[in-house]
Amino acid sequence: MITSATAAHSTAAPVTNVVLGPDTGDQFGAVMVQAGLVATEFSYKKDAEIYGEEEPAEYVYQVVRGAVRSYKLLSDGRRQIGAFHLPGDVFGLESGPVHRLTAEAIIDTTVRLVKRRALEQAAATDVHIVRGLLNMTTGSLKHAEDHMLLLGRKTAMERVATFLLEMDRRLAVAGMMALPMCRRDIGDYLGLTLETVSRALSQLHEQEVLGFSGARQIVLRNRQRLRNMDA
pLDDT (0 to 100) of residue 34: 73
Taking the alpha carbons of 148, 152, 154, 160 in that order, is the dihedral positive or negative?
A: positive
Rounded Cα distance, 70 and 83, in Å: 6
Q: Length of the chain in residues, anyone?
A: 231
Q: Which residues pair with 69 in a beta bridge?
A: 84, 104
Give, for 119, the enclosing helix (H) or strand (E): helix 116-123
**Which CATH number is correct for 4-152, 3.20.20.70, 2.60.120.10, 3.40.50.300, 2.60.40.10?**
2.60.120.10
Instruction: Show me where the domains of the chain are located.
Output: 4-152, 154-230
**135-194 pLDDT, tens digit each:** 888 888 888 888 888 888 899 999 999 999 999 998 877 678 999 999 999 999 999 999
Q: How confident is the model at residue 123 (pLDDT cuts 50, 70, 90)?
A: confident
Q: Domain 154-230 - what CATH class?
A: mainly alpha
pTM, two decimals, is: 0.84
**165-181 pLDDT, tens digit each:** 999 998 877 678 999 99
